A and B are shown apart, each in its own frame.
Chain A
Amino acid sequence: MIEPLTYAVVGLATVLFVLSVYYAVRDRLVDDKVLLLVALLELGLIAQLVLGLVGLGEIENSTERATFVAYLVSLPVIPVGTALLTIKEKTVWAMGALAVGAFAVAVMTARLQQIWNLNG
């Protein structure tokens, strides 16, 4: 795992979270700008998945490793899943859902780095 990537992913997720909340408050629906952010975040998460799987052997504790892999694999599913839901949902709640997804990505990525730092 490389820390700059973690920072980039957490940063992107945070921006997406803030933007989604802003959109929700302004009663705006998802647009290309938001989807571009989602796509960037997704790329970061896929890169993180590959790097994480490559460096997996460095985590000694099997339980921690299990949590690490679970998060690593789950993460890329979230932006795609929330984006799909969001495109279909034509109410202000759609942006709320996207915000929740972005928040989850930020928290889970931070947790991922935490596990890595403790055990890597």
Chain B
Amino acid sequence: MADRRALGGPGVVLVVVYGVLALAATGRSLLQITSDFSAAPLAYTLSAVAAAVYVLATWCLARGGRWVRVGIVACAVELVGVLVVGAASFIVPEAFPDKTVWSHFGQGYGFVPLVLPVLGLWWFRRVDRGVVPQPAESDSAR
């Protein structure tokens, strides 16, 4: 059986954490947008963006290979997002009548959104430098 799991070891834990966050963020944002989008358009749009980035990062972690580079960008976007939105939710709270995943630096999610992109970047970089062995893409793995 061909091994499609490109990232073994600690990566598997990260996939779970990312997967859970992606699920929670996607579900919440879908319902926010479909139930009452006009209540907090900015917050809900950001929720949707955050959810999409988490889903992408989960995918990149699970697939590895050429997705590692995409994953690095996704994690960087997350880190910027949580820092900017986190700060903005303190400075201009009136712009965020409802919470997003990134509000108050991810406080509503136990600050996981703040820690996760750092862990993700660390892991992706390790993989990118070849510290973690992974199936070569040119290899006839499938």
Query: What is the interface of chain A, defined by CB distance below 8 A to chain B?
Result: 62-63, 65-67, 69-71, 73-74, 77-78, 81-82, 85-86, 88-89, 91, 93-94, 96-97, 100-101, 104, 107-108
* B115 interface contact, C-beta 8 A: no
Binding stretch for chain A, among B17-25, B75-83, B87-95: B17-25
Cβ contacts under 8 Å, B23 to chain A: 74, 77-78
Interface size class of B (residues with CB under 8 A): 20 to 34
On whether A104 and B10 interact (CB within 8 A), knowing A69-B31, A88-B5, the answer reads no
- Which of A62, A63, A81, A85 is most buried by chain B, counting CB atoms within 10 A of its CB? A63
Q: What 1/0 flags go to B2-33 for Cβ under 8 Å of A?
A: 00010011111101110110011011101110
The chain B residue sitting closest to A86, CB to CB, is B12
Cβ contacts under 8 Å, A89 to chain B: 5, 8, 12
B100 to chain A, nearest CB (A): 12
B10 to chain A, nearest CB (A): 6
Cβ contacts under 8 Å, B11 to chain A: 93
Residues 26 to 69 of chain B near chain A (Cβ within 8 Å): 26-28, 30-32, 35-36, 39
Cβ contacts under 8 Å, B8 to chain A: 89, 91, 93
Residues A66 and B28 in contact, CB atoms below 8 Å apart:
yes
B68 to chain A, nearest CB (A): 18
Cβ contacts under 8 Å, A71 to chain B: 24, 27
On whether A82 and B16 interact (CB within 8 A), knowing A63-B32, A66-B28, the answer reads yes
Cβ contacts under 8 Å, B31 to chain A: 65-67, 69-70
On whether A91 and B9 interact (CB within 8 A), knowing A66-B32, A66-B35, A73-B27, the answer reads yes
